[in-house]
Chain A
Amino acid sequence: DTGVSQDPRHKITKRGQNVTFRCDPISEHNRLYWYRQTLGQGPEFLTYFQNEAQLEKSRLLSDRFSAERPKGSFSTLEIQRTEQGDSAMYLCASSSDRVNEKLFFGSGTQLSVL
């Protein structure tokens, strides 16, 4: 296992289109996080899964955003009717339940909405 994988690395879309991103966490990690990062800012929390259960969703996440982790392994983040303000880097991170476990990040998906 080489770490957390995200696909695609880059996505350019027109306003109003739907986009879907995928995250494959480290295989034994049961915790999965989605973050959004804009230029010059730290990552902002979007949502969190423990196994297949979505336990928390940020108020930043409008109803155009939905995330799933159907089998407790990979996760998808879908944005419907994209807006220019959705342009950002979308980061996925995973960790295990161990107290001293680090947070492992994917390389992110850079979304540009034209």
Chain B
Amino acid sequence: KNEVEQSPQNLTAQEGEFITINCSYSVGISALHWLQQHPGGGIVSLFMLSSGKKKHGRLIATINIQEKHSSLHITASHPRDSAVYICAVRYTTSGTYKYIFGTGTRLKVLA
């Protein structure tokens, strides 16, 4: 079992739909990142969360530390949201930060 699991692995939605991507993890963490990766490799950090909820435009990220679970929501989805969304957890060991990445959720939004 991977230490960071995402669901679904693949998701196709129609433009305008509300989208939810889930991330569950099994290690104790100090923070969780949601990342967006477009074809060609570039990765952009969307959110870093250690508790509660954050909102940026049409994106909302929530985290429940007790349940070791986070969700990324996209409201009013658009074809330009098509990308791979990766959950990454940060934990502290021996005074340094380490990250474990999920395998990503491939989102395709159809016009």
Contacts and interface: CB of A to CB of B under 8 A. Distances in A.
Interface of A: 31, 33, 35, 37, 40-45, 48, 50, 55-56, 89, 91, 93, 95, 99-105, 107-108, 110
Contacts of B4: 42
Contacts, number: 62
A42 B31 CA distance: 18
A37 B41 CA distance: 9
Interface residues of B, number: 25
A42 B101 contact: yes
Nearest to A109: B41
The majority secondary structure among interface residues of chain A is: strand
A31 B97 contact: yes
A109 to B, nearest CB: 9
Among B31, B96, B99, B100, the most chain A Cβ lie within 10 Å of the Cβ of B99
